[in-house]
Structure 1
Amino acid sequence: MLKVGLTGGIGSGKSAVASRLAERGAVVVDSDRIARDVVAPGTEGLAEIVAAFSERVLGPDGALDRAALGAVVFADEAARRTLESITHPRVRARSAELVAAAAPDAIVVNDVPLLVEVGLAPTYHLVVVAETAVPTRLERLARDRGMDPAEARRRIAAQADDTRRRAAADVVLTNDGTLADLHAAVDALWTDRLLPYEANVRERRAVRPPRVELIEADPTWPLQYARLAARIRHAVAPADLRIDHIGSTAVPGLAAKDVIDIQLTVPRLADADGPLAECLADAGFPRLPGEWWDTPRLPGDDRWEKRLHGSADPARPVYLHIREAGTPGWRYALLMRDHLRADPDQRAAYLLLKRELAASAPDAATYSTAKDPWFDEEHLRAEEWAVQTGWRP
């Protein structure tokens, strides 16, 4: 099962995205609809709301007057938090029931208006954000919902802004054009990413780029790492394991393959097997088959054994290196990253080597092996730097 979180600000067209995904075959769990159900007449949720805000939030028929309640909570942060403490647990519980009832090969889209605000992003395989310029949102709210402009602005201001949503988003669907444009973008997402992603998660299959292709440094790599690390942290909880961004994408300004390298630290390498491996695979990071180790850099070293996982997401290749704390391979990954961050001359030399090898040895295995002699020398330089600076991993 693939779990997708869908969010967007009020008036962004999130519901149109959800409807199109449902047409494609997704199981849509609509948090807004569930939020209405859990406060319907006769429910405990409604009784708690009346106890907190009085009967002024009820209509003549005894049902919740959402406009009256909105006028109270959107002008008062404490009141809004009180309301959320009543509704959110009930919405989460009902959403979990609906997800559990979906087929094993389903693509479940959880439509959550406050996904970012309540910190749910790491619980999904992918987060999709519908984004629309504020003036367009105001126009839509006035036209489609008859909302007063001042009230619309208050509601927009009460939610996360676009910058915060983008930070949580794996996919941003811009909805400033026509409905046909939005549908085309959703269809492409469904076909090119969601369908293969679901199959990869179900079949425990990781994406592995066949060729070495360097791209210029992407300033969003650290942010992409942060989203991935949050998913990994959620997957391995309650274990509190160290997670680090390593490799070339962790070095600012360095061109690299568009693959995020992550190191997950375990107390013993045996801890990487069994339940931990299954939890990571369920979260979209299946283990790569075979035995994996790093090349020893010092004479007499034993080979540096590790476990290697990848990403099931066809649009975001990842190598997740699981290493035992304190071992040479674990220390080496952190040392080389930090030395290259600190030494612009060696960073430039490494970049030159990478470009030469990518042109002459485009397959991944040859490219990796061809870098070994340079790294042997760089390791010695990095160790000297560590002594001089007092570096610790």
Structure 2
Amino acid sequence: MLRVGLTGGIGSGKSSVASRLRALGAHVVDADAVAREVVEPGTEALRLIRDRFGSAMIREDGTLDRAGLAAVVFGDRDALRALEAITTPAITARVTTLRREAPADGVSVFDMPLLVERGLWVHEHLTLVVDVDAETRVRRLVEQRGLPESDARARIAAQASDGERRAVADEIVDNSGTPEQLRDVVDVLWRKRIEPYAANLRDGTRTRRVGRGAVVHPREDWGRAGERVVAKLAAALAPTGVATEVSHIGSTAVPGLLAKDVIDVQVGVRHLAEADRDDVRQAMRDAGYILSQGNSGDTPKPGTDPASWGKRFYGGCDPAQVVHVHVREFGSPGWRFALLFRDWLVHVPAEREAYATEKRRLLAIDDDTDAYVAAKEPWFDDAWRRAQAWADETGWRP
């Protein structure tokens, strides 16, 4: 099941996107609706609210006085924390139950205003952010919901900033146009990314790099994309306790360097055998990564024990971004070189340019991706020695 987190600032039109995704076949769970459901008359959460905030918070018909409670907690951090301590566990449990009702081979959308603020985006395969400038949102809140302008601005200011939401967005859904334009944007997103992603997860198919022309000019968003992959993998593996760290490595982790459009990530484990545990493999599978059988080691570098270069290799299922995950033993030569090579290129511009020059030379000979990768190995052998010398000279440590 593909998990999609949907969020956006108040007044952004997030509900319109959720409605369209539902019409296209997604199973949508609305966090606001769940928040209302868990405090209905007779619920444990409503009883706890009455005990904490007083019977004045309960209307004569037994329902929660939402406006009255909002007036109590707005601007009072302690009161807000107390309310969240009551409602959050109930909401989380109910959301989990509802999302499990989605078809195993389908798409589960979590419509959550505070997806970024609560850090919940790390548990989604894709994060969609509905994006509209603040002034447009203020106008919509005033005209469509009847809010005073000062109230609208205060509510916007209380949420995550546009920059914070964009930083975690795998897709930014522009809703600055007409409803028809928004529908078209969502339809294209569904057809080109969401539906194929769900199919890849269902079939166990990883996304592969193109056969030719894979090396492209540096993209400004590689760093952010790497950060998102790292955060999601770290969250997925946390329950297993095996990861010593998760790091963005490879050429896309080096600003300004031309590269294959592939996000390479390294997962360190204390012992490589831990990577073969059932719970670890299942965690990777649930996170959207497929184990590549037969790819169990890197090319050994000169003067090292070939047996120490073992790894496990996974490929991501996202059709819009190729992701390779290299699981290596903490402290092994391969683990160390991946981190050293990245930092060496970042801190030594001459070596970064030398690598770029070698890439261009090899691509001019043959831009077949597999041939290009194989042809780089002799250069890497020499780079290994130069990078080691730099580490010794500077005192670099992983």
Distance in 2, matches of 1:300 and 1:390, equals: 21
Q: Unpaired runs of 5+ in structure 1?
A: none
Distance in 1, matches of 2:174 and 2:332, equals: 46
The CA deviation string for residues 88-147 of structure 1, in whole angstroms up to 9 with x for no partner, is 111110011111222111200011111111111111111111111111111221222222
- Cα distance, 1:351 vs. partner? 0.7
In the alignment, structure 1 residue 308 sits paired with structure 2 residue 313: yes
Distance in 1, matches of 2:161 and 2:322, equals: 28
In structure 2, what residue type is equivalent to 1:192? K
Contact 2:214 2:369 in 1 (8 A): no
Could you say which residue in structure 1 is the equivalent of 2:246?
Answer: 243
The CA deviation string for residues 319-359 of structure 1, in whole angstroms up to 9 with x for no partner, is 10111122221222122112112211111111111123234
Change (3 A) 1:289 1:71: same
Contact 1:74 1:158 in 2 (8 A): no
In structure 1, what residue type is equivalent to 2:74? F
Could you say which residue in structure 1 is the equivalent of 2:394?
Answer: 389
Change (3 A) 1:13 1:54: same
Alignment of 1:1-393 (within 5 A): 1-210=1-210, 211-238=212-239, 239=241, 240-275=243-278, 276-299=280-303, 301-302=305-306, 304-393=309-398
Contact 1:28 1:109 in 2 (8 A): yes
Alignment: residue pair count = 393
Q: Unpaired runs of 5+ in structure 2?
A: none
Contact 1:261 1:319 in 2 (8 A): yes
Distance in 2, matches of 1:359 and 1:191, equals: 35
The CA deviation string for residues 285-327 of structure 1, in whole angstroms up to 9 with x for no partner, is 1112323321122056426221110110111111101111222
Q: Secondary structure at the match of 1:294?
A: coil
Contact 1:212 1:367 in 2 (8 A): no
Contact 1:206 1:286 in 2 (8 A): yes
- Cα distance, 1:386 vs. partner? 1.6
Q: Secondary structure at the match of 2:129?
A: strand
Contact 1:74 1:155 in 2 (8 A): no
TM-score by length of 1: 0.95
Distance in 2, matches of 1:359 and 1:104, equals: 46
Deviates more, 1:144-153 or 1:189-198: 144-153
Deviates more, 1:189-198 or 1:236-245: 236-245
Contact 2:6 2:110 in 1 (8 A): yes
- Cα distance, 1:60 vs. partner? 4.9
Distance in 1, matches of 2:123 and 2:336, equals: 30
Contact 1:175 1:182 in 2 (8 A): yes
- Cα distance, 1:199 vs. partner? 1.4
Change (3 A) 1:148 1:53: farther
Distance in 2, matches of 1:215 and 1:71, equals: 54
In structure 1, what residue type is equivalent to 2:379? W
Distance in 1, matches of 2:332 and 2:215, equals: 30
Deviates more, 1:31-40 or 1:226-235: 226-235
Distance in 1, matches of 2:365 and 2:68, equals: 68
Q: Secondary structure at the match of 1:242?
A: strand
Distance in 1, matches of 2:82 and 2:304, equals: 63
TM-score by length of 2: 0.94
- Cα distance, 1:362 vs. partner? 1.9
Distance in 2, matches of 1:145 and 1:67, equals: 16
- Cα distance, 1:82 vs. partner? 2.2
Distance in 2, matches of 1:353 and 1:166, equals: 35
Distance in 2, matches of 1:179 and 1:355, equals: 46
Distance in 1, matches of 2:36 and 2:21, equals: 22
Distance in 2, matches of 1:123 and 1:392, equals: 31
Distance in 1, matches of 2:114 and 2:328, equals: 36
Distance in 2, matches of 1:108 and 1:260, equals: 25
Q: CA RMSD in A?
A: 1.7
Q: Secondary structure at the match of 1:237?
A: helix
Contact 1:213 1:358 in 2 (8 A): no
In structure 1, what residue type is equivalent to 2:382? E
In structure 1, what residue type is equivalent to 2:238? A
Contact 2:27 2:107 in 1 (8 A): yes
Deviates more, 1:63-72 or 1:231-240: 63-72
Deviates more, 1:36-45 or 1:70-79: 70-79
Distance in 2, matches of 1:137 and 1:109, equals: 23
Distance in 2, matches of 1:218 and 1:81, equals: 41
Q: Secondary structure at the match of 1:209?
A: coil
The CA deviation string for residues 145-198 of structure 1, in whole angstroms up to 9 with x for no partner, is 222222222211111111111112111111111111111111111111111111
Q: Secondary structure at the match of 2:5?
A: strand
